[in-house]
Amino acid sequence: MERRKFIGRTALIAFASALGSEIVFGKYLPVGYTPLGLQNPDPFKLFHKDSGMVLLNDKPWNMEAQAHLLDDKITPNKYIFIRNNGLVPENIAIANWTLTIDGESVTQKKTYTLAQLKSKFKQHTYQLTLECGGNGRAEYNPPAKGNQWTIGAIYCAEWTGVRLRDVLEDAGIKNDAVYIGYHAADKHLSRDPEKEPISRGAPMAKALQDETLLAFTMNGADIPLVHGYPLRLVAGGWPASVSGKWVERISIRNKVHDGAKMTGSAYRVPCNPVGPGEKVSEKDMCIIESMPVKSLITYPKTGAMISEGKKINIRGHAWAGELEVLKMEYSIDFGSTWKVCSIEKPVNRLAWQHFSAQVDFPKKGYYEVWSRATDSQGTAQPMLIPGWNPKGYLNNACQRIAIKVS
């Protein structure tokens, strides 16, 4: 008779937390079984998210924030967007978790436990901005396939971990190394063990940056399961898909990584402008690297109503991928004229920056406040949606909120 296998302690704790109660006899739950109370789960309770978050998909889980929820300088977990490609791992045995470094361009294949990573290498803490490459996809016309993100697939958290560079150098990097690729514990939606839901990577120059971390702490606590517990890659300023969750293996490659979601149109845009709806061959698509300059008004909430003669203080964040935002402006006349906002320097490289301004409205009526950031190379946000692309990536058009003065 086959011996029954029971779920691990980590999964049991996660189930109990989601249910809000101890699971009596929970130690007897079979592996692969989900309690009835979670088979149609409330995602806001399951992932400890604010009820103001917007659910886009449940297979896999994808959820975004609204602009006014992102007002904090460091984004709390309850407002952090969820972007998954596969199934969240179950039954994580933290004591047995390891990270393996391998690939064609590694001097020697090496495996590290979490305890070894934490003790062998110096730990670093950075605020790092992560934005989904498809943030703003909902505005493209003709519509692009994929989750219809509006403006809330962005956040800046404080991450603690070890530099990926230190770990790769400990294993040894051959001279022909050009790329890294990650492999993780999440399962394909089909549950086919031979398929990876996502396996992306980055050029060695990005992998070796000071701020590229193997992180185990987010905002001073263990990374929540849905965001990559117990170990994830964090590469700020690039599409968040580069920052692989639940990382178990990183390969040092002698070619551009060719894992899942690295080919075809995935996280790629036309190398040259194309017409809306035009088909683009794979050879004419370029991999997205640094994200474009962008800004977000987080206060007040769009639709705010104020009294005539009253000024309003606006605030928000701006970011520019690998670059810094040097100028921030706002307009109340649909971009005809612009006024300068004050903007803070980033806490560290790849952290978003915070802006503010006091806005005066000339008389009663309907207004829109538009925000426009300019990066350190002089590139400003476009007022309208930028060039169309098949997957609706990189929409960095000026953000805007509605105000009524009465």
Distance between CA atoms of residues 196 and 183, nearest Å: 8
pLDDT digits (tens, 9 = 90+) for 8-22: 777 788 777 767 678
Residue 73 inside a domain? The answer is no
Residue 89 lies in a domain: no
Residue 120 is assigned to a structural domain of this protein:
yes
Helix (H) or strand (E) holding 157: strand 154-163
CATH of the domain at 370: 2.60.40.650
β-strands 325-331, 312-319: how paired?
unpaired
> What mean pLDDT comes out for the span 304-329?
97
Q: Is the pLDDT of residue 168 over 60?
A: yes
Q: How many domains would you assign to the chain? A: 3
| 61-64 and 54-58 strand pairing | antiparallel
Predicted confidence band at 174 (pLDDT cuts at 50, 70, 90)? very high
Instruction: Specify whether the CB–CB gap between 133 and 268 falls below 8 A.
Output: no
pTM of the model: 0.90
- Two tokens, residue 212: 């590229």
- The b/e string for 65-97 (b: 16+ C-beta within 10 A; e otherwise) is bbbbbbbeeebebbbbbbbbbbbbbbbbeeeeb
Q: Which amino acid is at 343?
A: I
- pLDDT-based confidence at residue 121 (cuts at 50, 70, 90): very high
Question: Do 170 and 153 share a structural domain?
Answer: yes
314 and 299 co-located in one domain: yes
Digit-coded pLDDT (tens) for 48-89: 999 999 999 988 999 999 999 999 999 999 999 999 999 999
Same domain, 145 and 261: yes
Q: Report yes or no on 147 lying in a domain.
A: yes
Over residues 79-100, mean pLDDT: 94
Q: Do 267 and 324 fall into the same domain? A: no
Averaged pLDDT score across all residues of the chain: 94
- Per residue in 183-199, pLDDT (tens digit) is 999 999 998 999 999 99
Q: Which of 38-52, 243-257, 309-323 has the lowest mean pLDDT?
A: 38-52
| Angle at alpha carbon of residue 170, lines to 164 and 172, rounded to 5° | 100
Do 199 and 130 lie in a common domain? yes
pLDDT tens readout for residues 382-400: 999 998 999 999 999 999 9
Of 247, 269, 308, the residue nearest 387 (C-alpha): 269
In this predicted model, which residue has the larger pLDDT, 24 or 50? 50
| pLDDT for residue 1 | 40
Pairing of strands 123-131, 213-218: unpaired
Same domain, 233 and 260: yes
Same domain, 322 and 379: yes
Is 108 a residue whose pLDDT tops 50?
yes
User: Hey, how many other C-beta atoms are within 10 angstroms of the C-beta on 323?
Assistant: 18
Residues 126 and 212 in one domain: yes
Q: Is the domain of 336 the same as that of 393? A: yes
Kindly indicate the confidence band of residue 3, based on its pLDDT and cuts at 50, 70 and 90: low
- Strand 98-102 relative to strand 110-113: parallel, antiparallel, unpaired? antiparallel
Query: What share of the chain has pLDDT > 70, as a percent?
Result: 97
Do 21 and 100 fall within a single domain? no
Which structural domain range is residue 277 located in?
94-287
CA distance linking residue 104 with residue 57, whole number of Å: 37
CATH code (residue 212) = 3.90.420.10
Say if residue 317 is in the same domain as residue 277. no
Choose the final residue of a domain: 254, 287, 320: 287
What mean pLDDT comes out for the span 282-310? 96
Average pLDDT, integer, range 250-261:
98
